[in-house]
Every structure is written in structure tokens, then in C-alpha cells.
A and B are shown apart, each in its own frame.
Chain A
């Protein structure tokens, strides 16, 4: 049976191929099982904020990390976190005016209802101040978590820059009494 003689060397080679495959398969199984690190960094996550020392009521950016490109616009929301009976707010945002420029500011959906609240923003050389308040004796109040404002920025230069919410920011109740702010978030923008 000459065909057996042909098969034998092939079979002998196959042995080593199968062995190699087994080793590779097991190695692949071991190597493929990487365990990703648990990262919970949503800026609106109460638990994650508590770990960072930001406790409600707080004002934060959402998202708090943005990757963009030079010359591109991006949106950043200013969020109220777990507020209780707020009738108005004055939020002061500091940013590097050479890195970023504000192109637009629009009202978010947090201050809704009652008599239509006043929404005003002032942008002046790296300082953006947003005023939002219900007017008059029938002015309503809002509670919970929500978007106060959306800011459109333009990245002017490459690199990382930080935006902060100043501690001079103020939250007022319906009687214009200040409400304690326990946490102020910050945002990081990376432009490539």
C-alpha cells in the first residue's frame, strides 16, 4: 500500500501542527480574557461625584471630558445636580480665552414652567456668566437634576485646557435667599 507511505510523513507533520494549535488556542484563551478596569465617571453620577468630593446640590459640566479638533465647535452642558427649590442662579464659568472661545449660549430644559424665566449670558475675556431666574412674586422654583444651559465653544489652539465653575456662582430660592452649593464641577477639553 504505497499511499500509506505518502500519508505517514504528512501525519507526522500534522501531529506537530495540532499540538501547536492546542498551545496557541490555550494561550489565546488566557490572553484574550483581559478584565477592564471599572471606571464610572459620569459627572451626573451621585456616587462617582461623592468619590470626587462633589456632593449635591452641585453644578457640574456634562460631559466633563471632551476630545475635539482644532477649529471645531463642541457643546458643553451646565448641569444642576440634585437642587431643591431653586428660583434663580448666577453661574460663573472661567476658561482660557486663548484656547477656547464661546460662540453661543442657550437655555437648557431645567428652568421650565411658571412665568418664563429670564436667561442672560455675559462673556468677557475668559469669564462667562449665566443668569437665569424666575421673576416676580409668582415665580416658580425647580428641583432635581437638569440642564441649565448649553454652551457652544470653539477650540482655538491645540492642547488641553480646563474650564471651572467659579465659587462665586450663586443659587437662590424663590425669596432670593442663597442656597448652599456643595460641589462645583470642572471640565477638561483636549484639542488635537
Chain B
């Protein structure tokens, strides 16, 4: 183990020398702290990020195996290394000028990545001040260990599949290095296959909508004329039913008004008059009630007929889709070559 460490130290010293000679900083990318992802997924994404940092040509990336071995040897979790002491220690051991650590969080299809860059040199503050007194080392002052402020922090949010996330990570790597990402990566982002969930119009969908309100299923099935016919007839007959209901309410109120006046009256002529009025109101009430019921039955009939029509009529788009071939020859712009496409309707 000690031999290995010596080898590592040697290699890091070699890196420092190489970096000093080349003028590009050495960067140690620590594994991103995963939230809602597995450690393996996080390591893979961190690897993608580190590789892309390396691809920028503006940094030398410390080998991840070396980083992991040193962290294990020191008993430090990569996510915990945010204090100046840790950064200076790890940075010194790895011979890195910059240390990048981050958090990657997944919530359903949403990913949030936060990457922080720490400057090792800035972390190289003394933790203690010592002096020699009579040939012995005496600690004169001990500085409190504190969380170090990042030199740079970048945050991205992404919604979509993992392929797109890798592209986003690559772009982030370029941005964090203060560089514009190459056109190839940007184009890849634009060409990212977008999953479009197209709901195929079905008779059941039309039925559900027509059950909700007359005509809605027909509108859904792209049969707008029929939709208007069912909608307007439903609304018209419904309005007539409501008018009859209003008439019923008026007659009902009148009947009770005349009835109470009739019961209180002691004049035989007025009693006869009020009785006649109450009887007329009662007749009006019965008529309006009958009419309203008929109208409501008509509305119900229209409703049911509209539902039957919706379920018996094939939605226009569905018919088009059914006419589509299940196997056809298409040109793939990504691969720039023709290919055979096979599709199955899932309805």
C-alpha cells in the first residue's frame, strides 16, 4: 500500500511538473454526490464530465483511480471534501491546482447538477502557526477549520432522457472551463431525439368525451360539423328544458301564493276568484313540468344518440393512421442513410 502511495505521489509530482511546463492546470474531479441516483450512475456521469474536461485541452485531469485510492487511503468521502484543509491536503497529494466536486440530483426525469471548483492554492492557508522554543515545536495558534468558498459554481437543470443528460454534462464541462462547446456537441443536443407521445384518437376517447357533453367526442374525432350539430341540439333542447323549469317555478310560486290567500279569505267571491287562479297556476305547473320532463328526455336521447354516434364513427386521425404502412423505407438524417421502419399500432 505504501509502495502504491509512493507511486501515486511520484505520478502526481510528475503531473505537477508536466503542468508547470505545459501551463495548463491540473484538475481533480471528485465523484459527484448522487441524490436519487445510484453511486455507479453518478460515477459514470462524473467520468463523462471529467473526460470532456480533458477533451477541452485546457486542463490535465488527474486519473480517477488515483483520486479514489487517495480518498480511500485518507478515509474521506468525495462529497465531504469541501473544507479548505481537505482540499489543500487532497490537492497537494494529487498535485492538482483545482478540485471539482458536485452534486447530481434526479427527480423523475428532472436532473440538477451543481459543480463547484475549488482552488487548491487558496486552500493552502496554515492550519497552525508553530515556532521553535528551546528546540521544541510549539503550536502558537490553531486556525479553525472552515468550509471553503468555491472559486466557481455552475448549476444546470435538465429534463429528459439520459442521453440528453450526457450531452448536457459535456456542454457543462466546456462552460466550466470558460469555453464554448464545440458545434458537434451543440448540434447533438439539438438533434436529441425528442420523445413525442402522440395519443392516437380512439373510439373510446370519443365516447368518453361525448359522455361528458354532446358533441365533444365528435370534435375530438375531427368531425366538427357533427360536433356542432350535437352540441347545438343538446344546448337548444337543454335551454328549452330550463325555460320550462322556470315556467314551472313561476307557476309553483303562484299556486302557493293564491292557495294561501284563498285559505285566509272570508269573502266568497274572492275565494272563488282565488280558487280559479290557484287552479290555473296548478294547471300551468303540471303543463310546464310535463314539458320539462319531455325536454329532459329529449336531452337524454340526444346525449345517448351522440354517444352512440361518437363510438360508431371512426375518428378521422385514427383512420389516417390505420392507412399507414406498418413497414416503410425512411431516411435517417442522423445516420445519413436509408433504413426500414417497422411500426405497430397499440390500440
Contacts and interface: CB of A to CB of B under 8 A. Distances in A.
A37 B279 CA distance: 11
A47 B266 contact: no
A42 B282 CA distance: 17
B245 A19 contact: no
Nearest to B256: A36
Nearest to B265: A42
A29 B245 contact: yes
A29 B292 contact: yes
A22 interface: yes
A19 B265 contact: no
A33 B289 contact: yes
A47 B300 CA distance: 43
Nearest to B282: A38
A79 B271 CA distance: 15
Nearest to B110: A2
Interface string B314-326: 0000000000000
Contacts of B122: none
Nearest to B248: A33
Interface residues of A, number: 29
A166 B241 CA distance: 55
A19 B292 contact: no
B219 to A, nearest CB: 14
B159 interface: yes
Interface in A3-35: 15, 18-19, 22, 26, 29-30, 33, 35
Contacts of A26: 296, 299-300
A26 B301 CA distance: 13
Nearest to B255: A36
A74 to B, nearest CB: 16
Contact of A46 (B159, B256, B272, B296): B272
Given A19-B212, A36-B255, A42 B262 contact: yes
Interface of B: 159, 208-209, 211-213, 241, 245, 248, 252, 255-256, 259, 262-263, 265-268, 271-272, 275, 278-279, 282, 285-286, 289, 292-293, 296, 299-300
16 contacts: A26-B300, A29-B245, A29-B292, A29-B296, A35-B282, A38-B279, A40-B275, A42-B263, A42-B265, A42-B271, A44-B266, A45-B271, A48-B275, A63-B263, A77-B266, A79-B266
> Would you list the 4 A-B pairs with minimal beta carbon distance, nearest first?
A33-B289, A45-B271, A145-B268, A38-B282
Interface of A: 2, 15, 18-19, 22, 26, 29-30, 33, 35-36, 38-42, 44-48, 62-63, 77, 79, 81-82, 145, 147
